[in-house]
């Protein structure tokens, strides 16, 4: 039985970025126990990992804390999620930037982020 948040965290801890898919082929995020609208069952499948920045904001921090970006990423599977783009200055992240998923460890927990796709 799907335990959405627990499963999600476990997959990330295993180094896997997984998404839920409905029988219709539609992908779903955030994780839940059934497809929104239909109520159909959902299966976990490996995500492609590629996406595009749909929107981005830079959170301005009080020094010495660093500014950081918060981005909405459109995945090739057709779902959108909140994440962060690493490997580039926060102010340089632009809408439309092609990115790819990466799992990092932050605050002792696995975290899904994105980095710019290699040209």
Partner 1 sequence: MNGFPRGRTAIVGAATFGIGRSPGFEAVDLAAHASLLALADAGLRPADVDAVFIAQPQDTLAGLSFSQYLGLRPKITDNNRSGGSAFLLHLEHAALALDAGLCDVALVAYGSNQATASGALVQTSLSSPYEAPYRPLRPISSYALAAARHMHRYGTSKRQLAEVAVAARRWAQLNPEAVARDELSLEQVVGARLVSDPLGVRDCCLVTDGAAAIVLTRAERARDLHARPAYVLAAAAATTHADISSMPDLTVTGAVESGARAYAQAGVGAADIDVVQVYDAFTINTILFLEDLGFCAKGEGGAFVEGGRIAPGGALPVNTSGGGLSYCHPGMFGLFTLVESVRQLRGDAGARQVAGAELALAHANGGVLSSQATAILGTAATL
45 vs 82, beta carbon nearer partner 1: 82
Pick the closer one to partner 1 by CB: 23 or 32: 32
Nearer Cβ to partner 1, position 31 or 118? 31
| Interface contacts to partner 1, rule CB under 8 A | 5, 8, 29-31, 54-60, 68, 70, 72, 80-84, 91, 95, 106, 109, 111
- Report how far residue 16's alpha carbon sits from residue 19's, in angstroms, rounded to the nearest whole number: 10
CB of 46 to partner 1, least distance (A): 18
Which residue lies nearer to partner 1 by CB, 5 or 43? 5
Give the shortest CB-73-to-partner 1 separation in angstroms: 9
DSSP conformation letters of the chain = ---HHHHHHHHHHTT--EEEE-TTS-EESS--SS-TTT----EEEE---EEEEEEEEEEPPPTTSPPEEEEEEEETTS-EEEE-B-SS-GGG--TT-EEEEEEEEETTEEEEEEEEPP-
Task: Find the shortest distance in angstroms from Cβ 56 to partner 1.
Answer: 6
């Amino acid at each position: 039985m799907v335990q959405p948040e627990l499963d999600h965290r476990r997959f990330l801890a295993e180094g896997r970025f997984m998404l839920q898919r409905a029988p219709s082929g539609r992908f779903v995020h955030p994780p839940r126990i059934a497809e929104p609208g239909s109520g159909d069952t959902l299966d976990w499948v490996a995500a492609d990992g590629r996406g595009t920045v749909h929107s981005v904001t830079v959170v301005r921090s009080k020094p010495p804390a660093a500014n950081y970006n918060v981005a909405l990423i459109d995945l090739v599977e057709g779902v959108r999620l909140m994440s962060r783009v690493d490997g580039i200055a926060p102010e340089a992240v632009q809408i439309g930037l092609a990115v790819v998923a990466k799992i990092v460890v932050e605050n002792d927990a696995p975290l899904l982020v994105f980095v710019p796709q290699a040209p």
